[in-house]
Amino acid sequence: GGMSGGVSGDLDAGTCRTVLVTGAARGIGRATAARFGREGARVVVNFPPGEREYAEQTGALVREEGGTPLLVEADVADPAAVTEMAAIVHATWGPLDVLVNNAGICPFADFFDIDVELWDRVQHVNLRGAFLVTQAFTRAMVEAGRGGRVLSVSSISAWVGGSQQVHYCTTKAGISSLMKSLAIVLGPHGITCNAVLPGAIATDINKADWTDQAKVDYFRSRIPAGRMGEPADVAGVLWLLSQPESAYMNGSDVLVDGGMFVNLQ
Protein backbone atom coordinates (compact mmCIF):
# COMPACT_ATOMS: atom_id res chain seq x y z
CA GLY A 1 0.00 0.00 0.00
CA GLY A 2 1.16 3.52 0.73
CA MET A 3 0.51 5.19 -2.64
CA SER A 4 -0.23 8.88 -2.21
CA GLY A 5 -3.45 8.61 -4.21
CA GLY A 6 -4.38 8.94 -7.86
CA VAL A 7 -2.34 7.64 -10.74
CA SER A 8 1.36 7.64 -10.05
CA GLY A 9 4.43 6.34 -11.80
CA ASP A 10 6.01 5.60 -8.46
CA LEU A 11 5.99 2.04 -7.26
CA ASP A 12 5.92 1.57 -3.54
CA ALA A 13 9.34 0.12 -2.76
CA GLY A 14 8.02 -1.27 0.51
CA THR A 15 5.46 -3.63 -1.02
CA CYS A 16 6.01 -7.13 -2.27
CA ARG A 17 5.82 -6.46 -6.00
CA THR A 18 4.49 -8.69 -8.68
CA VAL A 19 6.82 -9.13 -11.62
CA LEU A 20 6.57 -11.22 -14.79
CA VAL A 21 9.74 -12.18 -16.62
CA THR A 22 9.14 -13.83 -19.99
CA GLY A 23 11.67 -16.41 -21.11
CA ALA A 24 12.91 -16.82 -17.54
CA ALA A 25 14.00 -20.44 -17.95
CA ARG A 26 17.60 -19.55 -18.75
CA GLY A 27 20.11 -16.74 -19.29
CA ILE A 28 19.24 -13.09 -18.70
CA GLY A 29 15.63 -13.96 -17.85
CA ARG A 30 16.69 -16.36 -15.11
CA ALA A 31 19.13 -13.83 -13.62
CA THR A 32 16.39 -11.19 -13.73
CA ALA A 33 13.88 -13.43 -11.96
CA ALA A 34 16.50 -14.11 -9.27
CA ARG A 35 17.34 -10.40 -8.94
CA PHE A 36 13.70 -9.49 -8.31
CA GLY A 37 13.40 -12.49 -6.01
CA ARG A 38 16.18 -11.00 -3.88
CA GLU A 39 13.87 -8.08 -3.18
CA GLY A 40 11.12 -10.37 -1.96
CA ALA A 41 9.04 -10.00 -5.11
CA ARG A 42 6.38 -12.34 -6.44
CA VAL A 43 7.98 -13.50 -9.67
CA VAL A 44 6.14 -15.10 -12.55
CA VAL A 45 8.65 -17.34 -14.31
CA ASN A 46 7.43 -17.76 -17.89
CA PHE A 47 8.95 -20.51 -20.00
CA PRO A 48 8.23 -22.09 -23.39
CA PRO A 49 7.05 -25.67 -23.93
CA GLY A 50 9.91 -28.11 -23.36
CA GLU A 51 11.82 -26.01 -20.82
CA ARG A 52 10.00 -26.82 -17.58
CA GLU A 53 13.13 -28.36 -16.04
CA TYR A 54 15.09 -25.15 -16.56
CA ALA A 55 12.17 -23.09 -15.27
CA GLU A 56 12.06 -25.18 -12.11
CA GLN A 57 15.73 -24.35 -11.53
CA THR A 58 14.88 -20.66 -11.95
CA GLY A 59 11.98 -21.05 -9.52
CA ALA A 60 14.28 -22.63 -6.95
CA LEU A 61 16.71 -19.74 -7.38
CA VAL A 62 13.94 -17.17 -6.88
CA ARG A 63 12.91 -18.93 -3.69
CA GLU A 64 16.52 -19.16 -2.46
CA GLU A 65 16.82 -15.40 -2.94
CA GLY A 66 13.71 -14.78 -0.85
CA GLY A 67 11.06 -14.31 -3.53
CA THR A 68 7.94 -16.28 -4.44
CA PRO A 69 7.96 -17.94 -7.87
CA LEU A 70 4.99 -18.87 -10.05
CA LEU A 71 5.88 -20.99 -13.07
CA VAL A 72 3.72 -20.45 -16.14
CA GLU A 73 4.33 -22.25 -19.43
CA ALA A 74 3.50 -20.22 -22.54
CA ASP A 75 5.02 -19.70 -25.96
CA VAL A 76 4.94 -15.89 -26.09
CA ALA A 77 4.36 -16.02 -29.85
CA ASP A 78 1.07 -17.89 -29.34
CA PRO A 79 -1.87 -15.52 -28.68
CA ALA A 80 -4.02 -18.20 -26.99
CA ALA A 81 -1.16 -19.24 -24.69
CA VAL A 82 -0.48 -15.61 -23.73
CA THR A 83 -4.17 -15.01 -22.96
CA GLU A 84 -4.20 -18.11 -20.79
CA MET A 85 -1.01 -17.02 -19.00
CA ALA A 86 -2.57 -13.63 -18.21
CA ALA A 87 -5.68 -15.33 -16.81
CA ILE A 88 -3.56 -17.57 -14.55
CA VAL A 89 -1.40 -14.70 -13.28
CA HIS A 90 -4.30 -12.33 -12.69
CA ALA A 91 -6.30 -15.01 -10.86
CA THR A 92 -3.29 -15.82 -8.66
CA TRP A 93 -1.72 -12.45 -7.91
CA GLY A 94 -3.76 -9.75 -9.67
CA PRO A 95 -2.22 -7.10 -11.94
CA LEU A 96 1.54 -6.83 -12.40
CA ASP A 97 3.70 -4.00 -11.15
CA VAL A 98 6.58 -4.80 -13.48
CA LEU A 99 6.58 -6.63 -16.82
CA VAL A 100 9.91 -7.72 -18.27
CA ASN A 101 9.70 -8.79 -21.93
CA ASN A 102 12.84 -10.90 -22.23
CA ALA A 103 11.98 -13.99 -24.28
CA GLY A 104 13.95 -14.09 -27.49
CA ILE A 105 15.68 -16.31 -30.03
CA CYS A 106 18.60 -15.62 -32.33
CA PRO A 107 19.38 -18.51 -34.69
CA PHE A 108 22.37 -17.23 -36.68
CA ALA A 109 21.91 -17.57 -40.45
CA ASP A 110 23.30 -16.18 -43.70
CA PHE A 111 20.95 -13.69 -45.32
CA PHE A 112 20.47 -15.89 -48.42
CA ASP A 113 19.62 -18.89 -46.23
CA ILE A 114 16.81 -17.18 -44.31
CA ASP A 115 13.55 -18.71 -45.51
CA VAL A 116 10.17 -17.27 -44.68
CA GLU A 117 9.57 -19.81 -41.88
CA LEU A 118 12.76 -18.76 -40.06
CA TRP A 119 12.03 -15.07 -40.65
CA ASP A 120 8.50 -15.44 -39.27
CA ARG A 121 9.50 -17.50 -36.24
CA VAL A 122 12.10 -14.96 -35.09
CA GLN A 123 9.70 -12.07 -35.70
CA HIS A 124 6.91 -13.90 -33.89
CA VAL A 125 8.83 -14.88 -30.76
CA ASN A 126 10.79 -11.65 -30.38
CA LEU A 127 8.44 -8.92 -31.58
CA ARG A 128 4.90 -10.29 -31.77
CA GLY A 129 5.57 -11.95 -28.40
CA ALA A 130 6.47 -8.62 -26.77
CA PHE A 131 3.35 -7.03 -28.30
CA LEU A 132 1.02 -9.83 -27.20
CA VAL A 133 2.36 -10.07 -23.65
CA THR A 134 2.40 -6.30 -23.13
CA GLN A 135 -1.16 -5.92 -24.38
CA ALA A 136 -2.41 -8.84 -22.28
CA PHE A 137 -0.89 -7.53 -19.04
CA THR A 138 -1.02 -3.72 -19.26
CA ARG A 139 -4.79 -3.66 -19.67
CA ALA A 140 -5.15 -4.86 -16.06
CA MET A 141 -2.33 -2.54 -14.93
CA VAL A 142 -4.20 0.45 -16.39
CA GLU A 143 -7.42 -0.65 -14.70
CA ALA A 144 -5.61 -1.10 -11.35
CA GLY A 145 -4.38 2.51 -11.60
CA ARG A 146 -1.19 1.85 -9.63
CA GLY A 147 1.24 2.70 -12.42
CA GLY A 148 4.12 0.37 -13.13
CA ARG A 149 6.90 -0.53 -15.49
CA VAL A 150 7.23 -2.26 -18.85
CA LEU A 151 10.87 -3.16 -19.49
CA SER A 152 11.74 -4.87 -22.74
CA VAL A 153 15.03 -6.58 -23.48
CA SER A 154 15.99 -5.19 -26.86
CA SER A 155 19.64 -5.33 -27.95
CA ILE A 156 22.62 -3.35 -29.15
CA SER A 157 21.40 -5.01 -32.37
CA ALA A 158 18.56 -2.48 -32.46
CA TRP A 159 21.26 0.10 -33.33
CA VAL A 160 23.70 -1.97 -35.38
CA GLY A 161 23.45 -4.70 -37.97
CA GLY A 162 24.75 -8.26 -38.06
CA SER A 163 25.53 -10.27 -41.19
CA GLN A 164 24.17 -13.43 -39.54
CA GLN A 165 21.32 -11.59 -37.79
CA VAL A 166 19.28 -9.81 -40.46
CA HIS A 167 16.10 -11.45 -39.15
CA TYR A 168 17.03 -10.79 -35.49
CA CYS A 169 18.24 -7.17 -35.58
CA THR A 170 15.01 -6.07 -37.22
CA THR A 171 13.00 -7.52 -34.31
CA LYS A 172 15.16 -5.68 -31.79
CA ALA A 173 14.71 -2.34 -33.56
CA GLY A 174 11.01 -3.20 -33.49
CA ILE A 175 11.01 -3.83 -29.74
CA SER A 176 12.68 -0.50 -29.06
CA SER A 177 10.10 1.15 -31.32
CA LEU A 178 7.25 -0.66 -29.56
CA MET A 179 8.40 0.79 -26.23
CA LYS A 180 8.44 4.30 -27.70
CA SER A 181 4.83 4.17 -28.89
CA LEU A 182 3.67 2.47 -25.70
CA ALA A 183 5.45 5.14 -23.64
CA ILE A 184 2.92 7.55 -25.14
CA VAL A 185 -0.06 5.21 -24.72
CA LEU A 186 0.69 4.13 -21.15
CA GLY A 187 2.62 7.12 -19.76
CA PRO A 188 -0.59 8.95 -18.79
CA HIS A 189 -1.43 5.92 -16.62
CA GLY A 190 1.89 6.09 -14.77
CA ILE A 191 3.19 3.05 -16.63
CA THR A 192 6.56 3.73 -18.18
CA CYS A 193 7.96 1.72 -21.10
CA ASN A 194 11.69 1.46 -21.66
CA ALA A 195 14.02 -0.81 -23.58
CA VAL A 196 17.28 -2.27 -22.24
CA LEU A 197 19.91 -2.99 -24.89
CA PRO A 198 22.47 -5.59 -23.82
CA GLY A 199 25.75 -5.84 -25.72
CA ALA A 200 27.54 -9.20 -25.75
CA ILE A 201 26.34 -11.26 -22.79
CA ALA A 202 27.52 -14.87 -22.44
CA THR A 203 24.38 -17.05 -22.56
CA ASP A 204 23.10 -20.02 -24.55
CA ILE A 205 21.84 -17.70 -27.29
CA ASN A 206 25.38 -16.84 -28.47
CA LYS A 207 27.38 -19.85 -27.31
CA ALA A 208 29.03 -19.88 -30.75
CA ASP A 209 30.52 -16.47 -29.89
CA TRP A 210 31.96 -17.15 -26.47
CA THR A 211 33.19 -20.68 -27.14
CA ASP A 212 35.23 -19.42 -30.11
CA GLN A 213 38.50 -18.04 -28.64
CA ALA A 214 39.16 -15.74 -31.60
CA LYS A 215 35.72 -14.18 -31.15
CA VAL A 216 36.17 -13.82 -27.40
CA ASP A 217 39.51 -12.07 -28.00
CA TYR A 218 37.83 -9.79 -30.53
CA PHE A 219 35.03 -8.90 -28.10
CA ARG A 220 37.57 -8.29 -25.34
CA SER A 221 39.47 -5.86 -27.53
CA ARG A 222 36.24 -4.14 -28.48
CA ILE A 223 34.72 -3.88 -24.98
CA PRO A 224 36.31 -1.25 -22.69
CA ALA A 225 35.09 -3.24 -19.67
CA GLY A 226 37.55 -5.94 -20.82
CA ARG A 227 35.07 -8.80 -20.66
CA MET A 228 31.83 -10.07 -22.11
CA GLY A 229 28.78 -9.29 -20.01
CA GLU A 230 27.02 -11.69 -17.68
CA PRO A 231 23.28 -12.12 -17.23
CA ALA A 232 23.53 -10.37 -13.84
CA ASP A 233 24.89 -7.23 -15.55
CA VAL A 234 21.59 -6.87 -17.40
CA ALA A 235 19.40 -8.08 -14.53
CA GLY A 236 20.87 -5.37 -12.29
CA VAL A 237 19.94 -2.60 -14.72
CA LEU A 238 16.42 -4.01 -15.13
CA TRP A 239 16.11 -3.86 -11.36
CA LEU A 240 17.35 -0.24 -11.30
CA LEU A 241 14.77 0.72 -13.90
CA SER A 242 11.99 -0.79 -11.79
CA GLN A 243 12.77 1.60 -8.96
CA PRO A 244 10.63 4.68 -8.11
CA GLU A 245 13.54 6.98 -9.02
CA SER A 246 13.22 5.94 -12.68
CA ALA A 247 9.63 7.25 -12.92
CA TYR A 248 10.58 10.09 -15.30
CA MET A 249 12.33 7.76 -17.76
CA ASN A 250 9.91 6.81 -20.52
CA GLY A 251 10.58 5.63 -24.06
CA SER A 252 14.33 5.27 -23.52
CA ASP A 253 16.84 2.90 -25.06
CA VAL A 254 19.24 1.99 -22.25
CA LEU A 255 22.50 0.47 -23.47
CA VAL A 256 24.21 -2.13 -21.21
CA ASP A 257 27.28 -3.15 -23.20
CA GLY A 258 30.42 -2.39 -21.19
CA GLY A 259 31.13 0.44 -23.66
CA MET A 260 31.28 -1.69 -26.81
CA PHE A 261 29.01 0.44 -28.99
CA VAL A 262 30.99 3.66 -28.67
CA ASN A 263 34.33 1.93 -29.30
CA LEU A 264 34.74 2.54 -33.03
CA GLN A 265 38.38 3.63 -32.82
The minimum distance between CB 29 and ligand NAD, in angstroms, equals 5
Residue 29 or residue 67: which is nearer to ligand NAD going by CB?
29
Q: How far is the CB of 150 from ligand NAD (least distance, A)?
A: 14
How many whole angstroms separate alpha carbon 25 and alpha carbon 21?
9
- What φ, ψ does residue 148 adopt, rounded to 5°? 150, -165
Which of 168, 176, 242, 252 does the annotation list as catalytic?
A: 168
Closest CA to 132 of 177, 90, 85, 96: 85
Q: According to CB under 6 A, which residues from 144 to 163 bind ligand NAD?
A: 153, 155
242 is catalytic: no
Number of residues binding to ligand NAD, judged by CB under 6 A: 29
CB-CB contact of 106 with 154 (8 Å): no
> Is 155 among the residues known to form the active site?
yes
**Helices 116-123 and 166-186 meet at what angle, rounded to 10?**
30
With 0-12 / 13-18 / 19 or more C-beta atoms within 10 angstroms meaning exposed / middle / buried, residue 91 is exposed
- Active-site residue, from 172, 176, 242, 246: 172
9-68 positions binding ligand NAD, by CB under 6 A: 22-23, 25-29, 46-48, 51
- The amino acid that residue 192 corresponds to is T
Binder of ligand NAD out of 99, 106, 195, 255 (CB under 6 A) = 106
Does 103 engage in binding with ligand NAD (CB under 6 A)?
A: yes
Is 168 annotated in the active site? yes
- DSSP per position, 84-136: HHHHHHHHHH-S-SEEEE---------GGG--HHHHHHHHIIIIIHHHHHHHH
User: Using the rule CB under 6 A, is 246 a contact of ligand NAD?
Assistant: no
Q: Is 204 in the site for ligand NAD (CB under 6 A)?
A: yes
Q: Which amino acid is at 232?
A: A
Taking the complex as a whole, how short is the minimal distance between the CB of residue 238 and ligand NAD, in angstroms? Answer: 11
Residues that are catalytic: 155, 168, 172
Interacting residues toward ligand NAD by CB under 6 A: 22-23, 25-29, 46-48, 51, 75-77, 102-106, 125, 153, 155, 198, 200-201, 203-206
